[in-house]
Amino acid sequence: MLMRTHTHTHTHTHTHTHTHHTFSPPTFALNNSNPRMILCVPDRYDERQQAARRFTSWSDSMGVKISKEQQSHRLVILAAIFVLMTLLILYGSNNGNDSAYAPFHVVTNYAIKATDLKKWSGKDGYVPFHGNKSMNLHCQKCALVTSSSHVLGAGAGEEIDRADCVIRMNDAPTLGYEADVGNQTSLRVVAHSSVFRVVRRPGEFLQRPDSHPVIIFWGPPNKMGKEAKGTLYRLIQRVSMTYSNLSCFSITASKMRRFDSLFHKETGRDRQKSHSWLSTGWFTMVIAIEICDNIKVYGMVPPYHCGKSKPASKKMPYHYYKPRGPDECVTYLQNEGSRRGNHHRFITEKQVFARWAKQYNITFAHPKWF
């Protein structure tokens, strides 16, 4: 710091020495090792006022003569720096893997370049549990029937059965619900957690004389992969050998990773780091886009369904075949908001489906989305 010393002689017998300092404004340094630790700034109004007074007191003690206009100008600069630092802190904290999911308008416009699922897919990601069958299913018009209780009372069974292909999920039954969900099944997508429930009811899912479905099983490679030869793999292999009318396939490990990458690209979230499990609905929707020219989805609610406008008294079971099961919206909201453990991000997935509906021939019924 530069210093100049001037001696002034007054009528008094003593001499005053004034020291003039060249003022250097404080600098603010970013911590490169931890971008979140940017600056410790007061976050309450009284603390900011105290900081301003300390700044003025410090300048006076140092002999710095600052006019009121200069003080006001510098306080404005400090306030702007405070706002900027606060925004940077918030940005850094919101970029954590455990942060809340982006709102609807952000997610639905996230992908810079739309994914062409027709080219992305390919049918080489499915391997048979027995024999040398290939997954070559293709349909012009598909009915994708969800397990939602919204299908009850819709009376859409006949319409569903008129589709070229009918797609169902996990252990959702048709017996006893034909009027609302139809009777035919062309493809069933089953999660590793639902395998035993499907196998325990062969009359419903495995040996119906009027049905020759394709069943695609998905799950972690250590449970479903051929190399693992775990309990689930051996069980499904025996089922496939026993019921010749079935065509049972598993999703390969490489394609499972591609499903994860697709989720990351479409949402901006890494599935594993955000503690998420892709739902059976996610796999089913992507597979349906692969094999169908037109898709009509039955029973799936839109992403905004469980918002604040939903009447509190209107509760719906999560599954149509489990009337005493958990409430639909409670299940969606708990899974979406949870940051501990692994959960399905149902609402986020539906936001992506809403965008895909604009790219492909996808419509929604009971309820209607658009």
User: What is the domain partition of the chain in residue ranges?
Assistant: 17-94, 106-365
Cα 328 to the center of its chain, rounded Å? 18
CATH topology of domain 106-365: sialyltransferase cstii, chain A (3.90.1480)
Residues for the chain: how many in total? Answer: 370
Per-residue pLDDT of the chain (370 residues; tens, 9 = 90+): 444 444 444 444 444 444 444 444 444 344 444 443 333 334 444 555 565 566 555 455 555 455 666 666 777 777 777 666 655 544 443 333 333 444 444 444 544 456 788 777 666 799 999 888 899 999 999 999 999 999 999 999 999 999 999 999 999 999 999 999 999 999 999 999 999 999 999 989 998 776 778 999 999 888 787 776 667 898 999 999 999 889 999 999 899 999 989 988 888 877 777 677 888 999 999 999 999 999 999 999 988 888 755 545 478 888 999 998 888 887 777 767 666 656 677 778 889 999 999 999 999 999 999 7
- The DSSP line for 125-181 is TEEESSTT------EEEEEEE---GGGTT---HHHHHTSSEEEEETT---TT-HHHH
Beta partners for residue 127, in sequence order? 250
Phi, psi of 187, deg, nearest 5: -140, 135
